[in-house]
Structure 1
């Protein structure tokens, strides 16, 4: 029996496992990096041990330190969560050799399935359908193909190649990325199936030779080969196809002697043919959707199986309704979806009926790694939370989840929230006409929810009115004077914000009775901002008649041509976060008398995001060509390349490997031509 469990992970999955442990009476131990000292999962554990350092390589990937922490705290079992060491056979072996219970499959199974190349060869012999593949890229004789890393996941090291001329560079690039992500540059080529679906099957196996499946999950909504939305059951899988997929998954598990909970991933072609892709020898990120439709706690079942328990089911449990999960991530759409960092000032998901466990009735489940006050840094991945909707039908689940997401307030970080809402409401998704390339064909899903020009202007007006109300509410001198009062009433109040499309000036004038007599929002030319912060402004546009129903520092209610619009306002420092039924917008108030900023030398290359400098591949005086890789930045478990924008000569390198940089930091200077 497990008495005290150490979770060798962090964030949302650590909290998820701790929740089940509390329910079944198991004590918990957290290990955490220096960066995570104040993270919610640390406070929720019964015991916690700090692993000094910030980078995963010094903390969550140090199996020796984690096992030492288990012994120090008296833990008798280790759960790896997912990611980090979850599929590391050496770590699993070290855990068992230390006399601890490993909550996962046997180390030898992890080792067998760790290499996609070896796994495919083994399962082809077991008559499991696999796609044609080439371990030697020079032998590829048909296109298109997908270059894939032999180990690891998350879309790292993947490249689609459509002709022989592009293959060599794609393989070289994939090798570099795979080595940076997984420490192994082995890649292979696999036939690429156009408009394929990504379907996976949840398997459960005990130590007594019993293996069953818990249905399939549809994971085809992906961006850059990374899942952003999962659901069960799949709208593309018929009862007969489900039976065939589950039978193949069981064959995979039995071929390797699997024990525990795992996932077998398949590619489903438009013709209905399916092929084995890989096996994940761990709990999946998307396991909550399976928990919703089965009513079973998969973490609890993992612990039961690790203790040697026999499966209490002889057949798959019935599936109840439909569940959809989205991954809310800190990503900036204005910088090509690079990971974003910052402090969480507000995190409010409405209508939540359960957290970190199966739901008892249809509704919204939230599994998150953050709380207000949490700091999202550069060291770990960008996922903030998983939000799950469970309903009787797929359409009801999609509508419920889209509505909740649209009303979710995430302040302090930019996220992919609007993209997720757009996908959930898109006709192609609602009709089930989806595949792994859907987002590439539907660019409209990348538009922000608050895309109406007039809605943005109304939010800007609300920000200005709320700011004035806040000053009035906090006034200590002559507090009886109305906000915005002027000796010369014809002079309006003005304020300049940096908004989604650049600086805007907001102006308004109140009548003698306090009503809104005039208002405007007009674009400021950022190149011509003067010391008054007003600069050159565009022509005043016509606006609909607006009356102020009420205005406080936290809420503004407007009457727009007879229709009421409520805007919630949350101000932190000089930044206002505005949320309404129209969408959300963030506005940063610009100073009236800004300090002059230093101009960068022509040809300066700056950091697109905060992170650590990885490789520096050039030196001063070196001639480079357009597109050549100059250096890399490492942030949130990803490597971000910095390429030469044009031909030129490197005149200055301002950073060295390992250096930490902020967004906008000068990395290098490239003189064009030369």
Structure 2
């Protein structure tokens, strides 16, 4: 079913009404419909952020124009828009990043303004300038602010002059390997290598020692060239175990600038945020004020207009240092909206049309606490490797006055390999941090997806960790608590296996009842599911696949309608039935007297059970004679973990490699992945050249084990 987006709570809505009255008292013109001359806005983006902008545009009576690639022809943002225009093939360089095509659509559609969302062209100085030259309003800051804040070395100098605390490092023009390595040695390891035009974790690497500096430098450069067409780097001291705290700022064309408090975005993987909250835990009012005032100084230093975020690194003593400024709307902006009762997209449209800020600093009141969890198509147990595929089943928690679901997909849609693997953002609000966290966990338990791997169970584990509950967060949280967050895989319990077997038996009963209703032979043994069917006689065997293990279940049909199930030496008394509520199926069951009510989805003889403890997947194994066989390349080398482009081939036929040596660098899902040798041996064959496209599971490199080498390692790949 399509996910629902709820803008604000009833309480927040009342606060917005109150705020609008205060705007009128200050003499600011209020428009019930279009703002200024923005009557039609083109959203130069896709997915959830495009849908997010359209929602506010519709609320304000502003018509929305969508652009889409071939991959997004049937997407949610296209369906939501008042108009939609095709702009090219799936690769973003030929569609969403092609400013000429976007501007052409803006002129063709008669759009008064362009909202760039985040990513793509949102922080592109040339695009902002091109919009201005065409007489189209760019909903963002002046191009000069984008330029100054987009180049990290420049921004550091500006911030230092404005009295904003900065962290030391090398931001010079000499980009030779020797100079950068020498500066790193002088700074002292570990160091952070960052693209000067970077953002979103792209073009960023940590060098722990001098030995791995050059490899990390080259990797960061490659990713920076791909993402920003600029591989200039800076090197700075890496603050170990810091907190990532950022401040939402907003400026107008009349010299006003305000902060809407801070967000803590410390919990990350691959230098990308995974869960955010506002306000930051355990931050005193004094530190909060200093953070906000420093962020406003940063904004005023570049005459900032519109929504922006000033990001800081914070140490254990709550000292903070400027990291960078994102000159756009952030992915996690909803948590700031939830604690201030504002609509920042509405602010963007009004300010872009020349209006003053809707609220001044003293009018902005912090209330409650909010969390945002990013739900991704990825495998946390495989180094968070992103994936793509269809959303065969998608059900979400109901949107209510304290819950928002920001998404750009519906059940049946496909998560494309061409773009970011984020499925949705789950945003909740509570009176305090404890209440908001409880709400977050409750909603995560109700977010059920079948068809591809997701990080939902990981988010449940993370949000339930005692240290996270206590607010003890840092950017090292996941590696520090790895053992707790990634416990050794355990086979499903006997109770879960019984639930799965019961679900299959009940489905069979439903199917046979339907057969009886349409069959001309009501006495056919195939129309019975009572256990008396031919060759069954009261009991039967069901083989189930539990991950890489199998379980044989003996099901005994009792005359009272219950079942006795035997798994090895254990016996279970089982009763239950499937009930449908609100379009979803639930298995009301009892196993040895313990009642439960997991949500149930059965697809292709695979049972998916969703409960408060997480999810379980149990399937009927495929007979060996029907199972496919892997190609020799997959058995004797490295395979592509997903569809992507071969960026760099690091080996050739005849090379000797050790376990873990880099073989190939792939670009997929907007990320760089280094595919490493699963075993030691000699390269027999390389299947792809640089620049070519490789499909998921395609053999990349074939390896031959040298005689006398050690045991073959399990196949796999890792990403940097």
TM-score, normalised on structure 2?
Answer: 0.85
Using the alignment, how far apart are the partners of 1:78 and 1:30 within structure 2? 10
**Cα deviation, residue 60, structure 1:** 0.7
Q: Does 1:236 align with 2:268?
A: no
| Structure 2 equivalent of residue 263 of structure 1 | 309
Secondary structure of the structure 2 residue equivalent to 1:400? helix
Q: Find the aligned partners of 1:134 and 1:390 in 2 and give their Cα distance.
A: 41
Are 2:532 and 1:485 aligned?
yes
Distance in 2, Cα, partners of 1:571 & 1:494: 19
Tell me the residue number matched to 1:534: none
Partners of 2:461 and 2:489 in 1: CA distance:
8
Give, in angstroms, the shift of residue 575 of structure 1: 3.3
Distance 1:614 1:173 in 2: 11
- Asked if 1:586 corresponds to 2:632, the answer is no
Cα deviation code 1:278-298 (max 9, x no counterpart): 000000001101111111110
Tell me the distance in 1 between the aligned counterparts of 2:259 and 2:577. 56
Contact 2:562 2:573 in 1 (8 A): no
Question: Is the aligned partner of 1:549 residue 2:585?
Answer: no
2: CA distance between counterparts of 1:162 and 1:52?
42
Counterpart for residue 139 of structure 1: 183
Does residue 499 (structure 1) correspond to residue 546 (structure 2)? The answer is yes
The aligned counterpart of 2:271 is 225
| 2:415 maps to 1:376 | yes
Structure 2 CA distance for partners of 1:74 and 1:260, relative to 1, 3 Å: same
**Aligned residues between the structures:** 646
Determine which structure has greater relative contact order: mean sequence separation of CA pairs < 8 Å that are 6+ residues apart, divided by chain length. Answer: 2
Q: Which moved more, 1:445-454 or 1:72-81?
A: 445-454
Shift of the alpha carbon at 1:490?
Answer: 5.4
> Which residue of the partner structure matches residue 508 of structure 2?
468
Q: Larger deviation: 268-277 or 603-612?
A: 603-612
**1:128 paired residue number:** 164
In structure 2, the partner of 1:111 is: 147
Match for residue 330 of structure 1 among 361, 368, 377: 377
State the alpha-carbon separation in 1 of the partners of residues 499 and 247 from structure 2: 45
* 1:649 aligned partner: 682
Return the match for 1:413 from 452, 462, 470.
Answer: 452
- Paired with 2:489 and 2:281, the residues of 1 have a C-alpha distance of 26
Deviates more, 1:170-179 or 1:4-13: 170-179
- Residue 608 (structure 2) aligns with: 577
How large is the RMSD of aligned CA atoms in angstroms? 2.3
The CA deviation string for residues 40-86 of structure 1, in whole angstroms up to 9 with x for no partner, is 11000000001220111111111100111111111121000001111
Q: CA deviation at 1:495?
A: 3.8
Superposed counterparts of 1:449-464, under 5 Å: 453-464=493-504
What's the counterpart of residue 15 of structure 1? 51
Question: Does 2:208 align with 1:176?
Answer: no
SS at match of 1:253: helix
Query: Partners of 2:546 and 2:108 in 1: how far apart?
Result: 51
Deviates more, 1:267-276 or 1:659-668: 659-668
Residue of structure 2 in register with 1:62 after alignment: 98
Aligned-partner Cα distance in 2 for 1:541–1:407: 34
Whether contact under 8 Å (1:8, 1:80) holds in the other structure is yes
Q: How far off its partner does 1:547 sit?
A: 2.0
Question: Comparing 207-216 with 176-185, which one deviates more in the overlay?
Answer: 176-185
Q: Which residue of 1 aligns with 2:16?
A: none
Structure-2 residue corresponding to 1:339: 386
Shift of 1:595: 2.5
Q: For residues 457 and 614 of structure 1, what CA distance do their matches in structure 2 show?
A: 44
1:400 correspondence with 2:454: no
Q: In structure 2, how many angstroms separate the alpha carbons of the residues matched to 1:107 and 1:469?
A: 66
* Equivalent residue in structure 2 for 1:568, among 599, 605, 610: 599
**Aligned-pair distance for 1:571?**
2.3
Instruction: Give the whole-Å Cα distance in 2 for the aligned partners of 1:321 and 1:39.
Output: 35
Distance 2:65 2:249 in 1: 27
Residue 209 of structure 1 is matched in structure 2 by 255
- How has the CA–CA distance of structure 1 residues 450 and 464 changed in structure 2, closer, same or farther, with 3 Å as cutoff? farther
Asked if 1:291 corresponds to 2:330, the answer is no
Q: Are the equivalent residues in 2 in contact too, given 1:201–1:217 (CA < 8 A)?
A: yes
Moved more, 491-500 or 438-447: 491-500
* CA separation of 1:162 and 1:606: change in aligned 2, threshold 3 A: closer
Extract unaligned runs of 5+ from structure 2: 1-36, 172-179, 708-720
What SS does the corresponding residue of 1:251 show, helix, strand or coil?
A: helix
CA distance 1:613–1:572, shift in 2 (3 Å): farther
Aligned to 1:428: 467
Aligned to 2:346: 300
Judged with a 3 Å threshold, the aligned counterparts in structure 2 of structure 1 residues 130 and 323 are, in CA distance, closer, same or farther, namely: same
What's the offset of the Cα at 1:470?
4.0
- Contact preservation (8 Å) 2:644, 2:668: yes
Cα separation, partners in 2 of 1:190 and 1:47, compared to 1, 3 Å: same
1:620 aligned residue (650, 653, 656): 653
> Quick one: distance in 2 between partners of 1:119 and 1:48?
37
Structure 1 range deviating more: 106-115 or 173-182: 173-182
SS of residue matched to 1:389: strand
CA contact (8 A) 1:464 1:506 kept: no
Aligned to 2:426, the other structure's residue is in SS state strand
Give the one of 231, 235, 250 matched to 1:185: 231
Instruction: Provide the C-alpha distance between the structure 2 equivalents of 1:42 and 1:100, rounded to a whole number of angstroms.
Output: 22
Conserved 8 A contact 2:183-2:235: no
